[in-house]
Amino acid sequence: MSSEWRKALRTVALAALAAVWVGCAPENYPQSIFEPVTDFGARINGLFTWIFWWTMLVLVIVEAVLVYILIRYRSRPGAEPRKIYGNNLAEIGWTLGPAIIVVFILVPTVRTIFDTYEPPEGEPLVVEAIGHQWWWEFRYPELGVTTANQLHLPVNRPIEVRLTSVDVIHNFWVPQLGGKRYNMPQPAMAPGEAEGKKYNVLYFTVEKPGEYSGQCAEFCGTSHAIMRMRVVAQEQAEFDAWVAKMKDGSRNVPAGVAAPGTQPVAQAQPASLEAQGYQVFMRAGCAACHAINGTPAMGVLGPNLTGIGSRWSIGAGLMDNTPENMARWIRNAPGLKPDAKMLTFPNLTDAEMEALVAYLYSLD
Q: Which of residues 79-98 bind another protein (CB under 8 A)?
A: 79-87, 90-91, 94-95, 98
Burial of 59 (0-12, 13-18, 19+ CB in 10 A): middle
CB of residue 180 vs another protein: minimum separation in angstroms?
6
- Which residue stretch of 69-77, 143-151, 253-261, 354-362 sits at the interface with another protein (rule: CB under 8 A)? 69-77
Shortest spacing between CB 81 and another protein, in angstroms = 5
Site for another protein in 323-352 (CB under 8 A): 338-339
- Residues from 180 through 219 that contact another protein (CB under 8 A): 180-182, 184-188, 200-201, 213, 215-219
Nearer to another protein, 223 or 234 (CB): 223
Residue 146: its H or E element = strand 145-148
Q: Which residues pair with 148 in a beta bridge?
A: 137
Q: Which of 112, 272, 325, 332 binds another protein (CB under 8 A)?
A: 112
Of 110, 244, 271, 298, the residue at the interface with another protein (CB under 8 A) is 110
The set of long-range contacts for 193-202, using a CB threshold of 8 Å and a minimum separation of 24, is 197/164, 199/128, 199/162, 199/163, 199/164, 200/162, 200/163, 200/164, 201/119, 201/160, 201/161, 201/162, 201/163, 202/40, 202/159, 202/160, 202/161, 202/163, 202/172, 202/177, 202/178
Name the residue among 175, 39, 34 with its Cα closest to residue 120: 39
Is the bond preceding residue 134 a cis peptide, omega within 30 degrees? yes
Which C-beta is closer to another protein: that of 221 or that of 264? 221
CA distance 320 to 268: 35
132 is an interface residue for another protein by CB under 8 A: no
Regarding 24 and contact with another protein (CB under 8 A), the answer is no
Residue 25 sits at φ, ψ, to 5 deg, of: -60, 120
Residues in the chain: 364
- Coil vs helix vs strand at 158: strand
Crossing angle between the packed helical segments 273-283 and 350-362, to the nearest 10 degrees: 100
Size of the site for another protein (CB under 8 A): 102
CB nearer another protein, residue 10 or residue 208: 10
Residue closer to another protein by CB (options 197, 241) is: 197
Closest CA to 359 of 273, 296, 290: 273
**Maximum separation of any 2 CA atoms in the chain, in Å:** 105
Is position 156 an interface residue for another protein (rule: CB under 8 A)?
no
* Helix H or strand E encompassing 77: none
Of 16, 105, 243, 287, the one binding another protein (CB under 8 A) is 105
Least distance in Å: CB of 209 to another protein? 19
CB of 291 to another protein, least distance (A): 23
What is the nearest approach in angstroms of another protein to the Cβ of residue 210? 15
Neighbours of 74 (CB within 10 A): 11
Does residue 150 touch another protein according to CB under 8 A? no
* Shortest reach from residue 288's CB to another protein, in Å: 21
Does residue 131 interact with another protein by CB under 8 A? no
Nearer to another protein, 177 or 257 (CB): 177
Min dist. Cβ of residue 271 to another protein (A): 40
Element (H, E) at 230: strand 228-234
Examine residue 168 and tell whether it contacts another protein (CB under 8 A): yes
Min dist. Cβ of residue 254 to another protein (A): 34
Q: CB of residue 84 vs another protein: minimum separation in angstroms?
A: 6
Asked if residue 102 binds another protein (CB under 8 A), the reply is: yes
Binding to another protein, residues 28-67 (CB under 8 A): 28-34, 43-45, 47-48, 51-52, 55-56, 58-59, 62-63, 65-66
What track of x and - describes contact with another protein for positions 241 through 260 (by CB under 8 A)?
A: --------------------
Are 163 and 198 a contacting pair, CB within 8 Å? Answer: no
